[in-house]
Structure 1
Amino acid sequence: MTQLGLDLDLTTKRTRKREFLDEMRRVVPWLKLIALIEPHYPTGRTGRPPFPIATMLHIHFMQQWFGLSDPAMEEALYDVPLYRDFAGLDGGMTHLPDESTILRFRHLLEAHGLAAQMLALVNEILVEKGLMLKTGSVVDATLIPAPSSTKNNSGTRDPEMRQTQKSGNWYFGMKAHIGVDAESGLVHTVVGTAANVHDITEAHALLHGQETDVYADAGYQGIEKRCETGAVRWHIAMRPGKRKKLDLSDRLDAIYDQIERLKAGVRAKVEHPFRVLKRQFAYTKTRYRGLMKNTAQITTLFALSNLWMARRALRKA
């Protein structure tokens, strides 16, 4: 039997992962993000020189896209040539970033609140390109489960996470509240809370202040009575039980049902970022302990999801 040689060109196959990284290499505003981090990055006047910001930022984003922990990311850099190439580590590097280096970079972003600044920077670019309008918003929240096991160093569950009930089932974890552009479905605001915080209590924090109309599901019933929401017009879905009682043979009830259909068509835009977060980026469970760290990761993921959702328009621009 003839054996395969060892001089195969493994770069000719355009795998889905390679295509994805090539797409993101083109649409992520790397230079502007690097300029955002640079004032906070160590200069390395003594000891081993730090890795370039670009390298660490590429590694950090790969962690988010592929759901890798710090040790797993270090091992992946050794095992996967594609990851080294994306991070720019194949150009005569004598060593690779270890898990402690990757951890310190993530802590640097968390300590200076750079995840929220990255989202704001990405949105500024999208607004400049005419991809995000500011006349309407859609607000919603999704549950993010957290590990409920106590088999860890502290012997306890995450003290900042809480339990809540939804559709008869109990969940332990946090909530990601988002406000999205009603036209494009791109995320402009992210708030992280414990799972037992009601959606309506964070609704006012999800508005950017320039919208005139806001859409939400039935969980936000009564929000228009709260003074802190300002003068915007709220379009809240009818409660499912009440809608089931509509008699479509009655002309007035048929009009109400059609209005609900129109509102649902706008509200559906908020589900697109959640789909990218949970399906495209496979983010289905919190990775860290504490709301601050997990909110920072979720905010980064939504910034990257905006770029992914707008990638075709950005390439044309």
Structure 2
Amino acid sequence: MKQLVLSIPLFIKKPKVTRRQKFLEEMEQVVPWVDWTNRIAPHYPVAGLGRKPFALEAMLRIHMMQQWFGYSDPAMEEALHDVPMLREFAGLDAGEDVMPDETTILKFRHLLERHHLAQSLFAETTGRLAQQGLLLRQGTIVDATLIAAAPSTKNRQRKRDGEMSSTKKGNNYYFGLKAHIGVDADSGLVHSLEITTAKVADGNMIDALVHGEEAIVLGDRAYTRNDRNLEAQRQPEEPVWGMPFKRKRGEELPAEHVVLNRMLASLRAKVEHPFRIVKRQFGYTKVRYRGLFKNAQQLYLLFALANLYHVRKVWMPTTG
């Protein structure tokens, strides 16, 4: 009998499941593709006398991969030709299908921006999470993060983005925008989002981040005011303002205030999880476009996807 050698297919090693492949398999199950395509479909072009448009779900999947992996429009076109895993996720076959070019990918993004669809998808996602009992709305944690913009003037206009601004944090100055979020105190899911220029104070945005049904609102020192702390007088319908106590100049905080501040800090920790997903998992640390509107639309979509990623372990068995 002929001796088997390692070149025979019987001994071909099964390829390793990479982190990117595992991530795509998880997001395949948790993203509500049918609901999202139905939301976009009334605005998507239909086949006519010209070139037949690409399938809506394929373009949506390509746009999602841009958010997850940070591809620009030209880089996304190249990746569809180079990476079989991404083509498979988009439902495209290199042997049979024509790949969308960078202009087609750009036009799809402009379609979402023109009709404010990213904001609509964010609202639909939070509503669906509430229906599933994953967003309880009994408490809200508020916080903001800075997203850097290019400070250079070496561009066509010879100036910085006029809708961005500088702010000081600690001893450092930052140029860009702020993403203000309201997070469910129980689950850590984002239920409200506001985008402003960087110089807007965090405390000025708190009314836009609460939904009015909370029993308690938590925030860091940037949100503390005389009428917003644990000792402040409040109306019966008002929530408890769980803001930390501030030390007066030349005085030390009482011991009980120090203990309360530490307790509040541990409760506020959940608000950092969505920022970690957007900045570390999705790699979004710098704005991609000029102006607040385009970047705000991208952030609405990123935080909707961050919510889905946050609950993927819970949701996958029920949506598989």
- Please confirm whether the aligned pair reaches a TM-score higher than 0.5, indicating the same fold: yes
2:242 maps to what in 1?
A: 235
Q: 1:162, CA displacement in angstroms?
A: 0.5
2:281 partner letter = Q
Alignment of 1:205 with 2:208, yes or no, is: yes
Q: 1:91, CA displacement in angstroms?
A: 7.2
Alpha-carbon distance between aligned partners in 1 of 2:116 and 2:127, rounded to the nearest angstrom: 17
Q: 1:126, CA displacement in angstroms?
A: 1.2
1:158 maps to what in 2?
A: 161
Question: What is the aligned counterpart of 1:84 among 87, 91, 95?
Answer: 87
Alpha-carbon distance between aligned partners in 2 of 1:99 and 1:313, rounded to the nearest angstrom: 36
Alpha-carbon distance between aligned partners in 1 of 2:315 and 2:247, rounded to the nearest angstrom: 39
Per-residue CA distance 1:7-45 (angstroms, 9 max, x = gap): x98983200000000000011011000111011111131
Alpha-carbon distance between aligned partners in 2 of 1:94 and 1:88, rounded to the nearest angstrom: 10
Deviates more, 1:262-271 or 1:232-241: 232-241
1:280 maps to what in 2?
A: 281
Alpha-carbon distance between aligned partners in 2 of 1:143 and 1:183, rounded to the nearest angstrom: 24
2:56 partner letter = I
Q: Which structure is larger by alpha-carbon Rg, 1 or 2?
A: 2
2:301 partner letter = T
Per-residue CA distance 1:148-202 (angstroms, 9 max, x = gap): 1122222221110001111011111000000010111100111111101111111
1:282–1:11 Cα change, 3 Å: farther
Alpha-carbon distance between aligned partners in 1 of 2:114 and 2:62, rounded to the nearest angstrom: 18
Alpha-carbon distance between aligned partners in 2 of 1:108 and 1:313, rounded to the nearest angstrom: 32
Say whether the 8 Å CA contact 2:144–2:178 is kept in structure 1.
Answer: yes
Say whether the 8 Å CA contact 1:243–1:257 is kept in structure 2.
Answer: no
Say whether the 8 Å CA contact 1:200–1:223 is kept in structure 2.
Answer: no
Alpha-carbon distance between aligned partners in 2 of 1:40 and 1:264, rounded to the nearest angstrom: 44
Question: What is the aligned counterpart of 1:65 among 47, 65, 68?
Answer: 68
For the residue of structure 2 that corresponds to 1:134, the secondary structure is coil
1:262 partner letter = M
Q: 1:92, CA displacement in angstroms?
A: 5.4
**Overall identity of the aligned pairs, in %:** 50
1:249 maps to what in 2?
A: none
Alpha-carbon distance between aligned partners in 1 of 2:25 and 2:225, rounded to the nearest angstrom: 46
Say whether the 8 Å CA contact 2:278–2:306 is kept in structure 1.
Answer: yes
Unpaired segments ≥5 residues, structure 1: 247-252
1:269 maps to what in 2?
A: 270
1:76 partner letter = A
Alignment of 1:139 with 2:142, yes or no, is: yes
2:256 maps to what in 1?
A: 255
Deviates more, 1:16-25 or 1:87-96: 87-96
1:192–1:207 Cα change, 3 Å: same
1:33 maps to what in 2?
A: 36
Unpaired segments ≥5 residues, structure 2: 1-6, 229-233
Q: 1:281, CA displacement in angstroms?
A: 0.6
Question: What is the aligned counterpart of 1:245 among 242, 249, 252?
Answer: 252
For the residue of structure 1 that corresponds to 2:313, the secondary structure is helix
Deviates more, 1:84-93 or 1:139-148: 84-93
TM-score, normalization: structure 2?
A: 0.89
2:151 maps to what in 1?
A: 148
* Pairing 1:13-24 to 2, within 5 Å after superposition: 13-24=16-27
Count residues in correspondence: 306
Deviates more, 1:117-126 or 1:91-100: 91-100
1:300 maps to what in 2?
A: 301
For the residue of structure 2 that corresponds to 1:189, the secondary structure is strand
Say whether the 8 Å CA contact 2:26–2:316 is kept in structure 1.
Answer: no
1:49 partner letter = K
